[in-house]
Amino acid sequence: MRWFKLNPIRLNPITRRRWTRFCSIKRGYYSMWVLGTLIALSLCAELLINHRALIVHYEGNLYFPTYGAVLSGKTFGLDYDYEVNYKALQKNFAENNNSNWVLLPPIPFDAYETDLVKDDYPPFAPSSQHWLGTDTTGRDIVARIVYGFRIAIAFSVVLMLFEYLIGITIGCLMGYWGGAFDLVFQRLIEIWSNIPTLYVIMIVASIVPPGFWTLLLIMIAFSWTNMTWYMRTASYRENSRDYVLAARAIGASGPRIIFRHILPNSISTVVTFIPFSVAAGVTALTALDYLGFGLPAPTPSWGELLKQGTDNLESPWIVTSVVVAMTLVLMLVTFIGEAIREAFDPKVFHTYE
Amino acid sequence: MSKTLHWLRSTLAHFNKGGDEQREWGISRNQIPPRLPLLKGGMVRALLCFVLTIFCGLQIAIADTPQLPPNLQWQTNDTDPIFADLHAKRGGRFRTYTMEFPSTLRIVGPDSNNQFTSFLQSNILSLVGRHPNTLNPIPELATSWAFDPDGKTIYFKLDHDARWSDGVPVTADDYLFTLEFMRSKFIVDPFSNDYYTNIIASVIKFDDYTIAVRGVTAKPDLELLFGLAISPTPRHFHKLNEHWVDDYNWRIEPNTGAYQISEIKKGKYIEFKRKADWWGNDKRFFQYRFNPDYLRIKLIRDLNMQYNYFAKGELDVADSDLFKIPRFWYKRAQGEPYEKGYIGKIQFYNDVPRVPFGMYLNEDDPLLADRNTRLGLAYAINFEKLIKTILRGDYDRLQNTSEGYGDYTNPNVRARPYDLEQADHYFKQAGWTKRGPDGIRIKDDQRLSVRVTYVSPEQTSYLVLLKEEAYKAGVELSLQQLDASTWGRQLGEKKHQIVWMGFGIGGLAPEYWQQYHSDNAHKPQTNNVTNTDNKAIDAKINAYRAATDKPSRVKLAHEIEQLLYEQGGFIPGYKKPFFREAFWRWIKLPPAYGTRISDSLFGTGAGAGGLFWIDEDEKAKVQKARILGEKFPPINILDETWRVKPQ
């Protein structure tokens, strides 16, 4: 809050009032901080959850393997050419009692690594090593959930950005221009939004195997329509207001009217939808992964974990972890959404009769 | 054949079509009589007989009625031991499941390759069968058979008792009709069209109960016999015309087996009823078999649900399809009902040709064209670890492309083990000397990354492990899971790099031509998925196909196997030498439990199925005990009678 007060000039009073209102709704406000922290942490997940060490001290040299190229076993005096096993290296250094040491991240497993135990078979139950256990291939569930979360959030944020870009542009133009353009697009959107997205994805998946971007493209292609209706209504409303008329009378150009007058005044509608769109994006990706039409294996994904969990109900830690994680994130997003909607509501008090 | 194998075979079936070159013999397709006018009853039959008489006359190119050659040595089999349980009781309703409700009841044509088809196929008998333990031929619809010295023709005497389920006798005309039917364009089934043209040359009728079937190529006796033992098709039932596919979707075709469909509840279940006066009841190899009065096949689409239904006692057995997934056997098939003996478990070893399952490398791919790269890859795939860890040691490593064919299998050809030094050696020879920043080998800015295509999501976890192990050798396996139709198309167009799959199997001797002869390389829709094109291999395969005596065929098969090993187009995966099943106590099995070639103890196929029976008294006892919590001695059977010890 303090941070915002340092630049009071840049925020107009309405926005400031909305912000204060948002902050006063504690549930939403704290949810925002929690979710923000989670996203920030997931962005640097490599430092927390990784099979690579943070720092290796070997023969007087320091190595920081996290983000760089692969360091082979030979780099550290071992006899193999492939990437060094840092956990084994740590043990090795400790046994030899020399000045070399390895600093591992708190969770020394990444999302792809299979950690198999002799004479036992995955999935392994939660233990001190794997806090939430492993999945059916022996991969750490914490790692899968965190990296899966990062991908899901990135997916839904990018999806939302493009969805809104297209939706707002077209919706705005429909409202501003009206007439034939409006009529044609209304019909087009009605038809377009009746195409079942899931089936399209299934059909496309049978032609080209979906990747992150293909999936995103399909989702964008079918979800931009939602936003157009709201924007169309909003810009129709603003367009008929006196100040727009006044702007037109003094000779303001179309783009100027749209960007300076209509958009800023109708943006509040859009903002309230953002958190729910993000939640919808996460859910959609999870659903697709669950059905097997999502991101290709072995990409860490909640949907795939959920599928494994429901298939292996006798290993309850899989399904529990992912369901709890998902509920938590969706709950946070919903709380934020609620608070934003409340903050943008022009009526501060409601009276019910 | 298990349902999986059936699926595999059917998935692959359509790749066969472009394989065989057209040959000239018998009757060509355009000679098939045109569509018959829609007349009723006797008129149609009379006309049909008339047309067919002309058509048979053309076909065998012999004037008037054909004569049986003199001095035929008629053989039969009434001496091999009966493999059914002499104490088996008839009756009861056997409840099992299917994962897929059929979209048609046809056994040929579009959509007929579904999982349910195997239940229909079970009741379609052939001329001769194979004794499941001695592997000798045994009578099914023919009582005896004789070989022609030309090595291509077999004569059959048909069983006079054989009846269709509607009571019509099965006669020579039904076999002639099979050929017409299977070659017809109207059935829209390229695979059958091809098989009955390029494998079966002609069917000759001598009288109503004597026929000859002629094959295209000469083969050793037994291989020829089982290849030519076709099934009859009820000619009085079918009207072949362009509407056949639609008209016959849900019509129940008369069959010759013990069961016929009696009730269909779409989307719920299909019930078969045993024929009360089945013609085969007293035949030596059919008696005491097919014991339940009813088979109810319930639709349960989900594996977990299947197991839950079974555990509640609403299904009688949980079969090998479920328990081939280790977690069901180790984690679910435990606990009270097993300890109290309500449910029994069996692990049964069999001795059958093993599915050549593993990685097929496309040699037309620029990256895999280099033999050294292929060999490097073979040493970089850690099947041993996969088997030991995720597969819980249940499987064995497959050693070559044709295991389980007895003498034909070359025991000296062993799969390349996981060996990083060897991998490094071969990769270096192929020029992959340096490693990039991500640990993957590079050559001229190209990464050593290969795509592995597969279908079953269950196998993702296997491939993830192999990927990680291969990474140590500096190879990246990028996994591409496709749905079955995309996968099929990619494979058909030979656009894959590495495909993770198994081929359908069967027969007495391995078949090499379809998969490894250059005739089938570099062209779409053939079974040569490796695009193997090697003159030395071609020559051996040609010799193998031409050879008619077993010793020389065996010798050639061994040589081909060795050459294929050196070619390195196939990385053998794993094989499962046994199957596991669980059953409620009231399901009884014969003393030997199963046979050498059983792939399930609860199948009802004509070959080795239908041996189990339902003990209604025991069922009442078990039901009562479940309420009272009483105990029985647990049933936990391990049968290794037919186990082939790993070499």
DSSP class of B137:
E
Query: Which letter does DSSP use for residue B339 in this model?
Result: H
Average confidence (pLDDT) over B177-181: 95
Query: How sure is the predictor about B321, in pLDDT bands with cuts at 50, 70 and 90?
Result: confident
Cα–Cα dist A205/A294, whole Å: 9
Which residue of B388, B462, B464, B469 to mutate against A (max A Cβ within 10 Å)?
A: B464
Average pLDDT, chain A: 87
What residues in chain A have per-residue pLDDT under 50? 1-4, 6
Sheet hosting strand B317-318, strand order edge to edge: B317-318, B578-584, B343-349, B636-639
> CA neighbours within 13 Å on the CB side: how many for A338?
14
* Stated pTM of the model: 0.77
Strands B200-207 and B210-215: antiparallel
CB contact under 8 A, A83 and B460: no
How confident is the model over B231-254, as pLDDT tens digits?
Answer: 999 999 999 999 999 999 999 999
Is the minimum CB–CB distance between B464 and chain A shorter than 8 Å? yes
Residues B259, B261: Cα–Cα separation, whole Å? 7
Q: Which of residues 300-339 of B touch A (CB under 8 A)?
A: 303-304, 326-327, 330-332
* pLDDT of B166 above 80: yes
The residue ranking higher by pLDDT, A209 or B163, is: B163
pLDDT of residue B11: 38
Cβ atoms B514, B504 nearer than 8 A? no
> From CA A117, how far away is CA A112, in angstroms rounded?
16
> In this complex, is the C-beta atom of A138 within 8 Å of any C-beta atom belonging to chain B?
yes
Mean pLDDT of B461-472: 91
> CB-based contacts of B349: which residues, under 8 Å, 6+ apart?
B577, B578, B639, B640, B641, B642, B643, B644
The answer to whether the CB atoms of A81 and B332 lie below 8 A apart is no
Please write the tens of the pLDDT for every residue from B449-464: 999 999 887 788 889 8
Candidate from A114, A310, A311 with C-beta closest to B464:
A114
Residue of B308, B384, B389, B485 to mutate for A, most A C-beta atoms under 10 A: B389
Closest alpha carbon within chain B to A136? B461
Query: Residue B484: what pLDDT?
Result: 74
Tell me which H or E stretch contains B375.
Answer: helix B371-380
8 Å CB contact of A207 and B303: no
pLDDT value for B390: 85
Residue B304 has pLDDT above 90, yes or no: no
Query: How far apart (Å, rounded) are the C-alpha atoms in residues A287 and A293?
Result: 9
ipTM over 0.85: no
Asked if B480 lies within 8 A of A80 by C-beta distance, the reply is no
Residue B551: enclosing H or E segment and its boundaries?
helix B550-567
- For B2-14, how does the pLDDT look when each residue is reduced to its tens digit (9 = 90+)? 333 333 333 333 3
- Average pLDDT estimate for B434-447: 91
Q: Which of A83, A296, A310 sits opposite B439 (nearest CB)?
A: A83
How sure is the predictor about B646, in pLDDT bands with cuts at 50, 70 and 90? low
Which amino acid makes up residue B355? V
The pLDDT-based confidence of B647 (bands split at 50, 70, 90) is: low
Closest CA to A317 of A141, A166, A104: A141
Is residue B160 predicted with pLDDT exceeding 90?
A: yes
Asked if B605 and B290 count as a contact pair (C-beta separation under 8 A), the reply is: no
Segment (H or E) for B270:
strand B269-274
CB pair distance less than 8 Å for A313 and B304 = yes
- A288, A308, A320: which is closest to A152 by C-alpha? A288
For the residues B18-25, what does the mean pLDDT come to? 29
pLDDT value of position B41: 40
The answer to whether residue B27 scores a pLDDT higher than 80 is no
Residue B29 has pLDDT above 60, yes or no: no
- Position A260 scores a pLDDT of 87
Q: Taking residues B77-98, what's their average pLDDT?
A: 93
What is the average pLDDT across B177-187?
94
Q: Answer yes or no: do A69 and B482 touch at CB < 8 A.
A: no
Token pair 């599928």 is found at A307
Q: What is the pLDDT of residues B532-571, one digit of tens each?
A: 999 999 999 999 988 878 889 999 999 999 999 999 999 9
- Distance from CA of residue A187 to its chain's centroid? 32
Q: What is the pLDDT of residues B409-439, one digit of tens each?
A: 999 999 999 999 999 999 999 999 999 888 8
How many angstroms separate the CA atoms of A337 and A278, rounded?
10
Residues B349-390: pLDDT tens digits?
Answer: 998 888 899 999 999 999 999 999 999 999 999 999 999 888
Length of chain A counted residue by residue:
353
CA distance B334 to chain A (A): 11
Q: Which residues, 6+ apart, have CB-to-CB distance to A353 below 8 Å?
A: none
- The predicted pLDDT at position A9 comes to 55
Q: B155 φ, ψ to 5°?
A: -100, 140
Per-residue pLDDT at B44 exceeds 70: no
Q: Alpha-carbon torsion A256, A261, A262, A268, what sign?
A: positive
Please give the structure tokens belonging to residue B159.
């069983």
Q: How much is the pLDDT for B23?
A: 27
Q: What percentage of chain B exceeds 70 in pLDDT?
A: 90
Angle at B178 between CA B172 and CA B180, to 5 degrees: 110
In this structure, the strands spanning B613-614 and B396-397 are: unpaired
Residue carrying structure tokens 């039917």: B181
Task: Give me B450's structure tokens.
Answer: 């290969």
Strand pairing class (B210-215; B269-274): unpaired
Return d(Cα B411, Cα B213) in angstroms, integer.
Answer: 35
Instruction: Encode pLDDT of B505-524 as tens digits.
Output: 767 788 898 889 998 889 88
